[in-house]
Structure 1
Amino acid sequence: MASAKPVVIYPPDEEGGRRVRIDSQVAGRAYSVRDVVAFCQEAGLQGWDEMDVVRSALIEWRGGGPDVWTR
């Protein structure tokens, strides 16, 4: 994945959303791994799927991994 960019997923907020930052730009709030996939694809990480998001070393999960969506 030559076009890979660093991705940071922040801890869940009180509504269960997690802020997503890709390559130092805030992409939005995700409510599931599927949302993170959509943000990654919009940022040019074409071909990424849920398994790529869960396993990628490019993604830094803060406040819990991909299975944590509540505070």
Structure 2
Amino acid sequence: MPKSMPRIVVHPPAATGGRRVQVDAEILGVAYDVKDLVVFLEGAGVVEPEGILDDPQWVEWRAGHVHQFHAA
């Protein structure tokens, strides 16, 4: 991964719903759906975040299924 690319981590779904979103070392908040995630990433300066959500070079989805925001 080039150094200019931020490390984006979408943490496992919480028991109460939502996933913490982290860019580099900063926690941006808890996303409850893809729309929330896109808003957080846009706020962090990611251009066209919708296009990178499924790209593992950009986004690391931890546990749960990609795009799943509620605990199983």
If the length of structure 1 is used for normalisation, what is the TM-score? Answer: 0.79
RMSD: 1.8
Which consecutive aligned stretches of 4+ in structure 1 deviate over 4 angstroms post-superposition? none
Q: Matches of 1:3 and 1:44 in 2, distance apart?
A: 12
Identity of aligned residues (%): 33
What is aligned with 1:13? 14
Q: Is the 8 A contact 2:8 2:23 kept in 1?
A: yes
Q: Matches of 1:25 and 1:68 in 2, distance apart?
A: 21
Structure 2 counterpart of 1:13, one-letter code: A
Q: How many residues align?
A: 69
Q: Which runs of 5+ in 2 are unaligned?
A: none
